[in-house]
Amino acid sequence: RSFTSQTDGEARVTRVLREKFPRASAIKVVDISGGCGAMYEIHIESEEFREKRPVQQHQMVNQALSEEIKSMHGLRIFTSTPKP
C-alpha cells in the first residue's frame, strides 16, 4: 500500500480521535500489524493534554478509543502538547 492512503482501521481510529480531541493539532495513526488492524501506533498532540501527567494523557486516549480497543491486540500511544 502507498504511504499516503490509510487503511480502514487507521481512518476509523483517526476519525474517533479527531472527534474526541477537537483541539488536537496533530494526529497520526499507523497500523503496525501489517494492515490487519491488530496493533496501532498513535501520535497525538493536543492542548487537552496540557497540565496532565503522561499516564493521564494515555488514559484519555484509551477512554476515547474504548470501543476500538476491544478488537486490538496492542496499542502504542505517544502524546504531547503543542510547543508555545
Which pLDDT belongs to residue 4?
57
At 17-50, the pLDDT tens digits run: 999 999 999 999 999 998 788 999 999 999 999 9
At 43-77, the pLDDT tens digits run: 999 999 999 999 999 999 999 999 999 999 999 99
Domain range summary for the chain, segments of one domain joined by +: 8-80
42 with 29: CB under 8 angstroms? Answer: yes
Sign of the Cα torsion 34, 37, 40, 42 reads positive
pLDDT band per the 50, 70, 90 thresholds, residue 2: very low
CATH of domain 8-80: 3.30.300.90
For range 4-15, the mean pLDDT = 87
